[in-house]
């Protein structure tokens, strides 16, 4: 029976002297994720791998699903731990496990053996040969292929024997928390949750800011953003979500500034506010879900106009993605269904019929002068009175 999981990681293996930082972070992320699973687990780091062992009752499927949500993991192998490691017994356990994992389908295989217990009764080449024979004798559907085996059969002899034959792909990437902290501008759309997920996959710890405009945007629109944050928190870990009331600022812009510039000016204020909150929270960068050419506010000129008010780097991981490619990820990470729920968005309510597509930064700055006497106080108030929601995975 599977009682343990072997975790293989890829990219963090190349970090030279800092490697332990990444390994330790991965162990912590694995432990945190498993806390929400049924059962108790022992997590151990050993020679470029991590072992997870269930110490009592547990749900193998739930555990596997949990591990597929931890960035930094390349592969997960369900392992059978064999206490009585006499060779006959190891073969018996191996056969049960292979029947269980592979069923009746025809397959080719090769045995790989590793022996850290040097006092063991057999040497590695003999273990491979004898175990191979045993499998051939007991499984009609098995065939040896030493060059391109479909199934790699692993036997490791340590204090106990470890047997495994299959592996499930992990999410890849780097453990969250190894690449600094960033503030995600999270809307209720399809793109920004994907953008946040992509940066977290590179090890970035995510916080988020959402701008709403009550009563023009509803409580349900806000709840949708909280829900999206919760869905991505399954991967990113807890997210502090800052909810900023943007109504007064939007109304002021709407009243005083040229309507064709509304969207860009609004976006410039969103970036300024996001950046101020980011500084308070020790974030080093901003993240948005923008993609070149998707809408008027995402032309090269518009992106330059929003960048212009930021001194922090602004990361836009989906910048060169087609909408369909973004949707593909949204479906994979389970945000799509929530993103397409039809609630109003604060940007769409005050939108102009003919927004500028090539905004001129100088002109934009001039237009913003029209609200100069009131806007600073409004921005400060919006930041001070923001609501903070501590979003945690379920
Ligand atoms: P998304 O699907 O992420 O909503 P979008 O295609 O609707 O993106 P825009 O509405 O132009 O595009 O927004 C571009 C980016 O600006 C979003 O990806 C998001 O990062 C940020 N953004 C837009 N509206 C908000 C909001 N109300 N609160 C926080 N961030 C926002
Ligand atoms: Mg949007």
| pLDDT tens digit sequence for 58-85 | 999 999 999 999 999 999 999 999 999 9
pLDDT per residue over 145-158, tens digit each? 999 999 999 999 98
CA distance 318 to 145: 42
Q: Give residue 14's pLDDT.
A: 60
- For the chain, helix, strand, coil in percent to 5 are 45, 20, 35
174-194 mean pLDDT? 96
pLDDT per residue over 302-317, tens digit each? 999 999 999 999 999 9
Give the residue from 273, 286, 207, 268 showing the smallest Cα distance to 244. 273
Question: For ligand 1, is residue 190 a contact (CB within 6 Å)?
Answer: yes
Ligand nearest to the CA of 246: 1
* 180, 156 contact by CB (below 8 A): no
Question: For ligand 1, is residue 288 a contact (CB within 6 Å)?
Answer: yes
Q: Whose CA is nearest to atom 24 of ligand 1?
A: 187
SS3 assignment, position 273: helix
Question: What are the structure tokens assigned to 163, written together?
Answer: 């047997």
Atom of ligand 1 nearest to the CA of 297: 11
User: Looking at the predicted structure, is the pLDDT value of residue 348 above 80?
Assistant: no
DSSP single-letter state for residue 11: G
Question: For ligand 1, is residue 186 a contact (CB within 6 Å)?
Answer: yes
Tell how far the Cα of 188 is from the centroid of ligand 2, in angstroms.
6
CA distance 9 to 71: 10
Q: How confident is the prediction for the chain on average, in pLDDT? A: 93
Question: For ligand 1, is residue 182 a contact (CB within 6 Å)?
Answer: no
CA 61 to chain centre: 20
Tell how far the Cα of 257 is from the centroid of ligand 2, in angstroms.
22
Atom of ligand 1 nearest to the CA of 287: 20
277-283 mean pLDDT? 98
CA distance 183 to 386: 15
Buried b / exposed e over 133-163, threshold 16 CB at 10 Å, is ebbeeebeebeeeeeebebebbbbbeeebbb
Q: Whose CA is nearest to atom 14 of ligand 1?
A: 290
Other CB atoms closer than 10 Å to residue 300's CB: what's the count? 11
Ligand nearest to the CA of 195: 1
pLDDT band at 10 (very low <50, low <70, confident <90, very high): confident
Ligand nearest to the CA of 189: 1
Question: For ligand 1, is residue 187 a contact (CB within 6 Å)?
Answer: yes
């Amino acid at each position: 029976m599977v009682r343990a999981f072997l975790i293989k990681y890829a990219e963090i293996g190349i970090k030279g002297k800092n490697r332990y930082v990444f390994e330790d972070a991965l162990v912590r992320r694995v432990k945190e994720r498993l806390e929400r699973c049924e059962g108790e687990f022992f997590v151990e780091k050993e020679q470029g791998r991590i072992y997870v062992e269930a110490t009592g009752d547990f749900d193998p499927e739930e555990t596997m699903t949990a591990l597929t949500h931890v960035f930094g993991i390349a592969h997960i192998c369900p392992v059978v731990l064999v206490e009585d490691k006499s060779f006959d017994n190891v073969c018996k356990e191996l056969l049960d496990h292979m029947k269980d994992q592979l069923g009746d389908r025809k397959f080719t295989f090769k045995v790989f053996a590793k022996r850290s217990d040097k006092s063991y009764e057999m040497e590695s080449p003999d273990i491979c040969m004898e175990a191979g024979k045993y499998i051939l004798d007991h499984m009609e559907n098995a065939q040896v292929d030493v060059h391109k085996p479909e199934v790699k059969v692993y036997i490791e002899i340590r204090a106990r024997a470890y047997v495994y034959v299959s592996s499930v792909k992990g999410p890849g990437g780097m453990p969250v928390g190894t690449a600094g902290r960033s503030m995600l501008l999270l809307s209720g759309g399809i793109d920004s949750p994907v953008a946040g997920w992509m940066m977290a996959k590179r090890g970035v710890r995510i916080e988020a800011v959402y701008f709403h405009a009550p009563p023009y945007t509803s409580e349900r629109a806000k709840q949708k953003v909280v829900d999206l944050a919760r869905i991505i928190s399954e991967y990113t870990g807890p997210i502090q979500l800052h909810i900023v009331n943007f109504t007064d600022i939007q109304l002021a812009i709407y009243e005083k500034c040229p309507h064709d510039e509304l969207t860009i000016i609004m976006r410039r204020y969103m970036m300024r506010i996001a950046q101020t909150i980011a500084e308070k929270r020790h974030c080093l960068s901003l993240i948005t879900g923008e993609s070149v050419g998707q809408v008027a506010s995402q032309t090269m000129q518009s992106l330059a106009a929003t960048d212009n008010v930021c001194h922090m780097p602004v990361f836009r991981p989906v910048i060169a993605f087609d909408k369909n490619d973004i949707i593909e990820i949204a479906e994979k990470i389970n945000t799509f269904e929530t993103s397409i729920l039809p609630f109003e968005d604060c940007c769409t309510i005050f939108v102009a019929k003919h927004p500028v597509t090539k905004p001129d930064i100088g002109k934009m700055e001039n237009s913003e002068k029209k609200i100069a006497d009131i806007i600073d106080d409004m921005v400060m108030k919006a930041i001070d009175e923001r609501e903070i929601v501590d979003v945690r995975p379920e």
